Amino acid sequence: MATRQMRKLQKQQELLRLQNEAEREDDESEDEPIITKPKPNAFAGFAALGGGDDDDDQDTEEETKEAEDVPEPVAPAKKSKKSKKKKKKGKKTESPAAEKEEEDDLDEIDRVLEELKLKDNKNPVSDIATSNTANSTSQINELLRVNFQHLKAINEMRKLFGSAIEAARAEQAAEANSRQQQRGAARQNVDLETFLSVPPAVQQQLGKRSMFETVLRTNPFIEGKKTWPRDSTRGLKMVRVTESFNGEPGVAEFAFAHDKTYDALEGNFYGLVQMYDPMQLVYFLSRYPYHVSSLIQVSKVAHQDQNSYLAHDLIERALFTFGRVSLSDFRKRLGDGTARLDFNRPENRQFFLAGYNQIKNLVLKGTYRTALEWAKFVLSVNHDDPYGVLNWIHILAIRAYEAKWFIELCNSPLIANLGTGRYVKATLPLAKLQLKDNAGARAAAIESIEELPWLFCALFSALNIDTPRSVWGVQPRDDEEALHTKLYVHLAKDIWNNPAAISLLTEAANAARKVDFFGLPPSPVVSLATARFVYLDNTPELMSAVPRKMLHTASPNFDFDPLPPPKEDNIFSSPTQKMPWSIAEDDGEHRQTRLHEQAQAALQMARARMNEEQLRAVVDDARARIDDPEADEEQRGVWRRIVDVLTGQGWTGGAGGVAEGGEGNQRGDVMPGGWEDDFDEGWGDDDFEDEDHWYEDQLDPELELEFGPGGTPNRRATVEDAEDSDEEETARR
C-alpha cells in the first residue's frame, strides 16, 4: 500500500480510538441527558483509499461536527462553490453507490490489517536461520575487508627499510635507463624487458605533468611505473551485475567485461596461442601493452627464461589494468568486504589468476603483509576460494605477525565449513604462541595432533627430529590425505623450524594420546581449487599426488586459464570466449594423429627386429595388461592398439591378399584407443599361430625376403633392392 494511504489509515485508527473513549465518558456521566442522534459514519474518513474525492472529505467534516463530545481531528477540506452545492445534495440521503464504496473501503482495510498480522506472525524458525546466515556472512565480510594501503608492496618496503628503499629504487631506475640508452634508440638486439618498456627518451618527453602520470599514481591496486607504455585498456571495463550473490545478504556482484574491440583482441590472442611461438605473443603485447591475457602468458615466458623481475612486472601491469577500470562502488564495497566476482565468468578468472601470481611473487620478495592483503582480496571477492589461497593465508598470517586476525579467522564459519579447515587450523598453535599464550598454544597443538596424527608424523620427519610415540608410524589413510599432508608440509615446514615451535611441538606430541585414527572424520575430497593451486605451484612431488583425471587429462588447460570450470558451468558473454575449448578439441585431434603416426613407426621397427617367440611374449604381456582390473579404459585402449599392430590386425590386406568383396582383413577404420587407421598399405595378418613365416612383404609382389633362423627376416626389403645384381646382393648379405 502507498505511503499516503497508510498515513490516512493511521489517522482513522486514531479517530476510532478517540471515539471509543468519548463513548465510555458518556456512559459514566449520569447528569447529562442521553441524546439520540444518528451514529456517525466511522469509516467515512477512509474514502481517500477509494480515490480521495472532495465530496467525501466534506461529508466526513459534516458528520464529525454532529458528534459534539468527540474531538474533531484536523482533516483536509477544500472549499469551493462546486463542492458546497454537492454537499447540500448529499445531505438528504446516501446513495447505494456510496454504501458500496464504504463496504469496499472496509474490505480493503481488513485485507491490509490481515497482511500486517501475518507479517508480524511469520515463521520464527525462518527468522532465526536468516539471522544466523546474515551474522555469519557479516562476520566473514568483516574479517576479509581490504585495506588498499596494504595492497602496495612499496608501502611495506618503506616501513621495513625506510628511506633506503627510495635510494635503491632510484639507483635501479638509473641503471635501467643507462642500459637502454647504451643499446640505442633503434632497440635492436635488446632483451625482453627493454623491448616491452618505454625508452628513457620518451619518459623524459612525457615529464610529470602528463595525464597518464596521474593514472600511475592514483591506481587503487598497484602503483604504476614510468617504464610502462602509455596506452588505453582497449575496451576492458567493469559492470555491476546484481545486488546479491549466491543468496548472501548485503553483497553486490560485479564483473569485468569486454567490448567489441577487446573481444577482437581476445580472438587474435587465441590464434597466436595456437602458433606455439612465444615471440609472436611478445610482439602482440608490445602493440597492445595492457591486454591482460597476453600479460599473463608472456609473464610465464619470462619466468621460464628465469627473468623473475619481468615476470613480476607483467603481473603487476595486469593488476594495474584491472585497477584502472574498477568502479568506485566496487572499491568501496571491497573496504566493507561485500563485493563479489563470479569465477565462472572467463573475464573474471584472469583477475583471480593475476592475483594468485601476485601473492606468489610477493612471497618470493619477502613482503608477507602485502601478500596477506592480496590473499584476503582474492578470497573476499569469492568465498569459494577457486585458486586455493587459503593454503597461503595461514602461512602469511604467521609471517606477517597477524596472529590475532588469524585466530578470529579460524573461529569463523569460513574455516568451520571448509573441508580442509583442519589443515588450516594446524597452524593455530603458532598463532597463539606468537601472542605469548603458551597454555592455549599447547592445548591447540594437542588437539591438532590428535585430529591429524599423519600430518604431524610427516612434519616431524621433515624437521629431522625424533617422532614421539603418539604419532610414530602413522601414515595417511588414502591419497587425498596424502596430498593434503604433502601440501601442508611443503608450505608450512619453515614456519615450524625454530626452537620455540619445535619445543612446543615436541611437548604437545608427548602429551597427546595415541588415537585410533581410523575413527577420525573422513578425509576431504581433493577439490579443483586445490588442483589449480598445485598446478600453479609446479612442484613435481605434489603434482604427482593430484588425481590424474583432474590434472593430466584436463582440457582445455592453458597458462592464461589453468583448469577452468566445465564448459557447461561457464557464463560466456561472447562466442570468442568459447575458443579455448575449440582449440583444445582441435589440438587433441592433432595430438592423436601425431601419436598414431609415432606409434605405428615405433611398432613397425620393433616388429621387424623380433622373432616369433619374442613377439608372442610381448603380445601375451599386452593382453595381460588389457585384462588388468585396475587399468582404466584409456590404458586398455592403448594396449589393444599395440596388440592389433603387433599381430597385424591393424593393416589392410592379409596373407592371401585381398579378400572377397575387395576388403582386407581389417578391424575397421577406427582402431582401439581412438586412433584413426589411415594406413592403406602395410603388412598383412597371416595368422602366425598356424604359419611358419608370418612376416610377408606387401610392397612389391616381385620381391622375396630372406629369412634367417627361426623365421626372422634379415632386413626389410626396399624397392632399390630389386635392382641389385646377384653379386651386390651377395656382398650386401
Alpha-carbon distance 394 to 411, whole Å?
Answer: 13
Q: pTM of the prediction?
A: 0.65
Report helix, strand or coil for 254: strand
Query: Within 10 Å of residue 203's Cβ, how many Cβ atoms?
Result: 16
Q: How many CA atoms lie within 13 A of 384 on its CB side?
A: 13
**pLDDT beyond 50 at 154:** yes
The pLDDT of 379-406, averaged and rounded, is 96
Cβ atoms of 280 and 272 within 8 Å: the answer is yes
Residue with more model confidence, 304 or 101: 304
Alpha-carbon distance 311 to 375, whole Å?
Answer: 19
Cβ atoms of 513 and 470 within 8 Å: the answer is yes
pLDDT for 205 equals: 60
Model pLDDT for residues 69-128, shown as the tens digit of each residue:
444 444 444 444 444 444 444 444 445 455 555 555 556 666 666 665 555 555 554 455
End-to-end CA distance of the chain: 107
The pLDDT of 384-403, averaged and rounded, is 96
The residue whose grid cell reads 543468496 is 247
What single-letter DSSP state applies at residue 214? H
**What own/partner pairs with CB < 8 Å and gap ≥ 24 does 14-19 have?**
14/73, 15/42, 15/45, 15/73, 16/42, 18/70, 18/71, 18/73, 19/67, 19/70
Most confident of 301-310, 372-381, 418-427: 372-381
Residue 10 CA: distances (Å) to CA of 14, 15, 108, 538: 6, 9, 14, 70
**pLDDT beyond 50 at 396:** yes
Dihedral of the CA atoms 172, 174, 179, 181 (nearest 10)? 160
**pLDDT beyond 50 at 673:** no
**pLDDT beyond 60 at 64:** no
Residue with more model confidence, 502 or 19: 502
Model pLDDT for residues 437-468, shown as the tens digit of each residue:
999 999 999 999 999 999 999 999 999 999 99
Report helix, strand or coil for 24: helix
Q: What percent of the chain has pLDDT over 70?
A: 63
Q: Amino acid identity of 697?
A: D
pLDDT for 293 equals: 96
